[in-house]
Chain A
């Protein structure tokens, strides 16, 4: 069932207005989107890690179910919200990993195709999380772009649409943000290269 963008927005509004059934109706509509998110993880799965894509999606679903005071304006807001949740989930996972010190030799799990140097199984993701917080304070839109593209697996086009900017702007944002991030997480390397 192909959702009309209008459907999602309407349901979001109904949910915000205090109709809990609207949320239940909303889920199947965005479910395929969420599944896509999941499959972007599926693509990169290797034997040996515990992060299961479908598990992720469903964890998302559960957390969303628990949001009683959700208050968003439109589809875009929904996705950016989902991205935040995904961040939380990944940060949780990273923290747990660190705590349990999964026996040395745990294979690195690259965050995404565009950020393969961030290992989800290592502590770097937590730094990323902090960095994103910082970026958010400076330039919210760039932080959102990163979340949408790198955490939710949205394409540049989709992210642009969600944030209501042009694709060109989106691409520029991403480039800059990537550079900024790398510098923030690996300052020595950034300083060194000429």
Chain B
């Protein structure tokens, strides 16, 4: 074929256009002439012409039906008036009676929805048609045509939108208030007849020439919004919410029950806008996503704040308070009825005290709102849900309405929904790099759904399993403790989820304890719970759970030794156990515990080897083996670096045996990187610094590459942080101060990222503070005092922040004390504060912790209080045993004795006045 620039194409076009102007019968001749005998050219043009003409013919055949004259119930269409959120709106008149006019709204949707709408409408019809009020546009009729087109016929109103009306006539505030009160009267009237509007907005309030407001679409929302039955994507009220979220109440957006208070809220927004010309959240929210988030979590600005200058004064005070009361996030803090709302406005107009003012103080005091901004990602996720129509099904299910929930159809929708979210959708999303924030949102929503299902589940065993599995899966997603896969870093949610799973399973287990599926899942739950508990600082519970899991898996594997899966499960359980016992939070790395870990390791090796004997290339077994070696090796490194390295190398060896698919998987690369990092650490311990640097090259590459692709990945950030710490240490050993400084800077940067992700984790703060302290030292040594000061201060601030927490451990307090005493920046030293911390540390540890005692003594000494310093050291010496005859004193004893001696010297040389108390 030719291209646009080509002469051929241009000719074809040119001839085509000319030919169009030639009448049909002369065309053939014209073409013959113009194409100059080129048969191909002629044919091409002719066929394109034919194509063009053919369409003209088809066009008229397929002409879109003109709506004019079509019948909808007793009404006949006259013309189109506009497009609403749910479909086109037409002016119609009653057949045979040209006087009565109506507005016909066509509702779009699937046949299922249409049928349901018809049924619903039939139910509501009496009530809605009976809503006769001068300010409410009556619902006249509704139904479904023979072609399956649902429609509603309403009283036709000629008027202008509320906002346009008040603007174009420049109404004063009292005039607007009067108009508003009329609207309130209408809404209240409907409420008294048990009809809630649910979709109040300026577009639904028209004002006639005579100044009478007319409310449209009353109760329609209820007729249209039928939870759970319509397939996702049907235009229900949910889509309307999406299109005009600014008027929806927080509970509506979240799909919770919609009451009179929801209408109060919407009226509140209308009130706000009527007075200020702006929306309550317009100052901070500019996109639909932000708006949705703002409605649910952020307080509105007071009207007087956002209003134009000339309106500020009249709005301040009463009207501010009235608006804020109507806009309260919690329904029960708003006006109890629209009537009350209106009355308060009346009181204001008459100069009487307004009840809103008292309410506001309480409201502010409660402060249950989350203060921080909902991230755009989470808001976008809410949007995502609404879009996918998932919201329409489950969110509108009234939890209280158990009967309806248990109705087969809706229920299975809800189940499918939760499953969809947790499995296929999650997996699909997981594949997208950088999707961590969205997944976080999905995960928390899943929890919500599962919770709702849980309430409804009753005796359904099948569902109970599904639920449990759902919760377990969620737990996995939220916190992948073995480093297999990326974690969302949300341990507390994971815990919640796992516990729920366990609760369900235990109930099932009580019914039939030996049922293998139950057992397996129980073990699995324990298996997941354990590390999570550990992670959250409940190590003994974690160990208990895992021991339970191990017991069950052991039992299952010995009952069926030829079963690869059972062996693998058992191996994994032991590895999990190792992880929990051996990790810093989980227990002490004292010899006894270390032995336990190594014993578990041996059992793990046994099981995995057994599995490999049955299936030599089983990836799970190889990976499990690698992890077991990794954990064991890490533990051994402290005491015997060579042994530790050797063990880890065995792990790398196991990885090398993986079949190609698993071998080349990104996760394997990461696992190898982790192990190489630890080997490097061991090399550093052994003084093989240059080798260590070399070993770290590959891991560094791997992590940085991952960081580029997936910057929000918390696990990777942690690994990088740990890598740079190790690098820094090695550089220091090699005397490369500048490189070390650079590495510490990286550690600090990464630590702050982790802190942002999970501010509850103290260890990140400590690591950050340590790095800051070291950086400060290096900078001070280099003479860069300003920067050194910055870092030193940051370090101190961090440590103090941790120490000031109510749950601070003695260790944290001691660290704060030390840094305040020894920081290289003299001006930052604060001995009196250090003393406070040291004293608390000592108290917290019951006065029996030698470390705390020593620091306390130093603190006293630094504060010039020799007497107390001596007393403290002597106290410490009192409960640390002196050296046995012929033996050297223990480290601790020695330190205390040295301290005593130091203080005595200081006194003697006059640095510390004896008996001088500060």
Seen from chain A, the residues whose Cβ lies within 8 Å of a Cβ on chain B are 24-25, 27-28, 31, 35, 39, 42-45, 47-48, 50, 52-55, 58-59, 61-62, 65-66, 68, 110, 113-117, 134, 137-141, 172, 175-176, 178-183, 186-187, 189-194
Contacts and interface: CB of A to CB of B under 8 A. Distances in A.
B306 interface: no
B287 interface: yes
A62 B286 contact: no
A114 B62 CA distance: 10
Interface stretch (B48-56, B92-100, B203-211, B328-336): B48-56
Contacts of A58: 242, 383, 387
Contact of B3 (A28, A137, A186): A137
Interface centre among B62, B87, B108 (most CB of A within 10 A): B108
Chain B: interface residue count, which band? 35 or more
A190 B16 CA distance: 14
Contacts, number: 133
Contacts of A55: 233, 387, 389
Interface stretch (B109-117, B516-524, B722-730, B802-810): B109-117
A42 B286 CA distance: 27
Contacts of A141: 4
Interface string B696-732: 0000000000000000000000000000000000000
A190 B9 contact: no
B756 interface: no
B62 A116 contact: yes
A31 B288 contact: yes
Contact of B51 (A47, A114, A182): A182
B11 interface: no
Contact of B384 (A45, A62, A110): A62
A47 B109 contact: yes
Contacts of B16: 175-176, 179
A4 to B, nearest CB: 15
Nearest to A24: B287
B235 A52 contact: yes
A178 B630 CA distance: 67
B17 A187 contact: no
6 closest A-B pairs by beta carbon, nearest first, are A182-B51, A179-B52, A116-B62, A139-B4, A179-B48, A58-B387
Contact of B20 (A39, A175, A183, A189): A175
B13 interface: yes
Interface in B245-291: 286-290
Nearest to A27: B287
Contact of B287 (A25, A52, A193): A25
A35 B610 CA distance: 62
Given A58-B242, A182-B55, A183-B48, A176 B1 contact: no
B287 A181 contact: no
B376 interface: yes
Given A31-B288, A179-B51, 14 more contacts: A25-B286, A39-B83, A47-B114, A48-B111, A50-B110, A54-B235, A55-B387, A65-B380, A66-B432, A178-B52, A179-B49, A180-B48, A180-B51, A190-B47
Contacts of B1: 134, 137-138
A61 B242 CA distance: 13
A54 B239 contact: yes
A187 B47 contact: yes
Contact of B55 (A52, A172, A178): A178
A110 B49 CA distance: 22
B660 interface: no
Contacts of B114: 47
Nearest to A193: B50
A45 B239 CA distance: 16
Nearest to B3: A138
A54 B384 CA distance: 13
24 contacts: A24-B287, A31-B288, A39-B83, A43-B64, A52-B108, A54-B239, A55-B387, A58-B383, A59-B387, A114-B59, A134-B1, A137-B1, A138-B1, A138-B3, A139-B3, A141-B4, A179-B51, A181-B51, A182-B51, A190-B47, A191-B50, A192-B50, A193-B50, A193-B54
Contacts of A193: 50, 53-54
Contacts of B50: 179, 182-183, 189-194
Nearest to B45: A179
B300 interface: no
Given A42-B88, A141-B4, A178-B52, A117 B148 contact: no
Contacts of A190: 47-48, 50-51, 54
B147 interface: yes
B387 A138 contact: no
B213 to A, nearest CB: 24
A62 B52 contact: no
B287 A28 contact: yes
Contact of B17 (A25, A172, A182, A186): A172
A42 B841 CA distance: 70
A24 B289 contact: yes
A117 B4 contact: no
Nearest to B377: A65
B293 to A, nearest CB: 12
Contacts of B383: 58, 61
Contact of A176 (B17, B239, B287, B434): B17
Nearest to A41: B108
B87 A42 contact: yes
A164 B3 CA distance: 21
B352 interface: no
A68 B48 CA distance: 40
A117 B351 CA distance: 69
Interface string B33-72: 0000000000000011111111100110010100000000
A113 to B, nearest CB: 6
B149 A47 contact: yes
Nearest to B150: A47
A61 B16 CA distance: 39
A74 to B, nearest CB: 21
B909 interface: no
Interface centre among B17, B54, B234, B434 (most CB of A within 10 A): B54
Contacts of B59: 114, 116
Contacts of B4: 138-141
Contacts of B109: 47
B126 interface: no
Contacts of A24: 286-287, 289-290, 376
A183 to B, nearest CB: 4
A191 B627 CA distance: 70
A194 B43 CA distance: 11
Given A113-B64, A141-B4, A183-B50, A47 B83 contact: no
A55 B233 CA distance: 6
B887 interface: no
B290 to A, nearest CB: 7
Contacts of A39: 83
Contacts of B239: 54
A62 B387 contact: yes
Contacts of B3: 137-139
B591 interface: no
B2 interface: yes
Contacts of A186: 51, 54
A117 B1 CA distance: 25
Contacts of B88: 42-43
